[in-house]
Structure 1
Amino acid sequence: MNAPRGLSWRTVSALAPLALGLSLVLGACASPFARPGGVRVVSVYDELNAALTERYGVARRAFDSGDFAAARIALADVLPAAPEHLGLGILAQEVELASGDAAVRDALAARELEASEAAPTAARCVLAARLAREPAAARTLLVRALELDPRCAWARYGLAHLAARAGDWAEADTELELALELDAFLPAARRLEAMLLARDGRRREAIGAFESWLEDVVDDPRVALREFAEAQLDLATLYVLDQDPDAARELLTRLTLEGDLAVRALCVLAAAEQGAERPNEALHATRAAEELAPDVALPWVQEAILRQSWLDDPEGAEAAWRRLLASSQSGGDLGRVLLAMRARLALERAERRRERAKGSLP
C-alpha cells in the first residue's frame, strides 16, 4: 500500500482497517464507470402514480422507523395496483424478514420461488433470486428474468451484484454497465458503481458518485434509511482517504445514528481527527466507540495505533492490543483471526523491545 503524498505512514496504518468497510464484499477491481449521463428510465418495475407513490413513501417511513405493522398496512394498499413494481416487492420482503426468523425466511423464499415458476415474470424471478440460498440458483433466476424481459435493469444489477460478491470483476463490470445502459438512475446500480470506483482507488470519481447518489435519492422510497446512512459513512471514509478530514468531520457531525452505524461513524470520525493531526480528539472518538460496542474490534485497533504512534503511550497501546487479543479468542470468523494475529505480533514486538532495552538481546 503506497502512502499518498502528504499523508504519513502512521495515518495510513490507522486508516487501513477503516478502508475495509468499503471492501468487505467487493474487494478490489478495475471499474470503467463514471457517473451515468443517460436518460431516466421509468418502467413497470419502478412506475407509480402520485397517490401510490405517496403510500409507498408511508410504507418506507414506517419500515425505517421500525413500525412493521404500519408498513404492512400501507403496502397492502399499493401492491395489488403495482404487482410488478420491484421496489415495492423488495420492501414487502423486508417487512416479512424483519423478525429475523429463519423459518419465516425459508417459507417466504419458497413462496417467491413457487410464484416465479407458476406464473413467471421478470419481477417474480428477481424477487425469488433475492432470497435464493445459493448464488447459482439466484443467477439462474436472474437469467430467466432477462429471458422474459431483456430490458429489466434490476436483473442486470442483480447479476452484477452476484459477480462482485464472487470476485468476478470482469463480469461485474459488464453486467453493471448493461444495467446502467438500461436505467442510468437505478439507485442500487449507481451505488454499486460508486463502490467499484472506490475500490479501484479512483477516489475523486467515487466521491462524486456518492455525493450525486445521496443528493438524488434523498426522497426515493426505494432507498432504505439505513442504506442511505451507510452510503454517507462510505462517503465520509472516502473524504478521509482523500486527505480531506474536515469534510468527513463536517458530514459526520450532521448524522444522528444508532447501534452499529453509530459505532462505525465514531471509527470514521477517529480516522478523520487523526488525519487532521488531532490525536486526542481521535482517541476520544475511539473510546466512545468502545463504550457503545465493547465487542467490536476496530475501535481497539485504532486506539492501539493512536497510543503507539501518536501519543507516545506504549503501555496504553499494549493494553489495547491485549484487550483486542482477549476478545478475539472467542470469535471464529476470519476477521477476528486476522486482528488477533495483528495484536499478537504487536505484543511480541513490544516484548522484544523491552528485552533489547535490558541488553539481553543483541
Structure 2
Amino acid sequence: MQTDTPGSAPKTTNPPPRDAIKRALGERARAAGFEIMRITRPGAIPQAGERLMAFLADGRHGTMDWMEANADRRGDPRQLWPEACTVIMLGMSYAPERDPMEALGEPLRGIVSTYAKRADYHDVMKRKLKELAGSLERETGEAVKVFVDTAPLMEKPLAAAAGLGWQGKHTNLVSRDAGSWLFLGAILTTADLEPDTPERDHCGSCSRCLDACPTKAFPAPYQLDARRCIAYLTIEHKGHIAEEFREPIGNRIFGCDDCLAVCPWNKFAGEAREARLSTRIELDDPPLADLMALDDTAFRLRFRGTPVKRTGRDRVVRNCLIAAGNARDTGLLPSVASLLGDPAPIVRAMAVWAYRRLASPEAVAAARNLHYPGELDPDVRKEWDTGTTS
C-alpha cells in the first residue's frame, strides 16, 4: 500500500554524491533486514502495461476487480507519480525453516502458506520502508513515497528491471540470493540515483514449478490463470469453489506454496535470520477440527496480526471443510456436521460436500431431510442434490 510521504524536509543545498547516497541507503536497508536493494527508473517496464491488459482481457484475474480499476496506472509508474525519477526496489526474505510441502502428508492439519505464518508483511515492511525513505528524504531533501503490494504498482516487473531477480516461469520473482521467497517493497523518489543492471532469466529448461501446480494454473511458462490458482481460490475468491478444484486443494487452507517450494534456486536462500521480524513464525499448520470450531470472534483472535485475518472466518472455514472432505477421516464428522446449518452459505455448501464424503449414505439422507427443506441458497441445495457420495 502507499503510505504518506515520511516528511517534508527542505531541499538540501549540498547533498552528498549520489553514489554515496546509494551506498549508505543500501547499508541501512541491510541493517533493517532487507536481503537485496536495487534501483531502476519508472519507465523501465514498457511491456508491463500491455501484458497486464492481455491478462485482464482473458479474464485470468477472476474476481479481482481491483486489478481492472487502476489498470492504466498499474502498468506505468509514471502514471502513478509523474515527478518520480527513481524507483528503489527492496526484497526481504521469508524463506521457511522447513519444506512447506512436508505438511501435505498431515491431512488432519490445514496448511497455511509460508508468508502468512508470521506478522503481516504489509505492516512490517511499511514501517521499515518509511524509515529508509525518511532517511533518504532528510539526506537529499527530495520527495519520497512508499509502496507495499496493494497500490497500483507492478512490483515484480520493477524488481526484475532493477536487478533483484527475474520473473520465473511461475510468474513470481526468483532471486539468486533468496530463491522464490521474497517480499517486495518500493520507494519512489524524485532523487536521481544511479540505476542497476536488470537480472537475466536463469530458469533455463527447468519446469519444476509448472509441473508442481496441483490445479494446472499455468497455461504456459510465464503465464498464470489466477482462476485456477489455489492461492486465489482459498484467499481472494469469495464465493463457492468449483468441484474440479476441491480434491487438488488437498489440505491447503490458505494459499499454496508448491510452485515456490520446488524452485531449485531456493538452495541459496539460506536460513532466515531469527531476528528478522518478517520471518518470525507466529503460527503453525493448525488442526482442522480446531479451525472449524471458530466463530468470527475466536477467528479474529486466533489470527490477529497475520494476513489470514484479512480473509475472514467464513472463507477460511470453507477451505477447512474442503480439507476435511479430502482427509477422509470420520473423526472429523462432528466438526463437519456442526457446520451444516452455519449462517454463511459458502460454509454450508462445503459442509455438505465434506459430510457426503465422510458420512454413511444413511447419515447423509437423514441430514438432508433435516436441512434441505429450509435451505434457500441454490448452491447449497445443489450440493445436497448432486454432491458425490463415496
Higher helix share: 1
Higher strand share: 2
- What TM-score do you get using the length of structure 1 for normalisation? 0.34
- What TM-score do you get using the length of structure 2 for normalisation? 0.32
Higher relative contact order (CA 8 A, sep 6+): 2
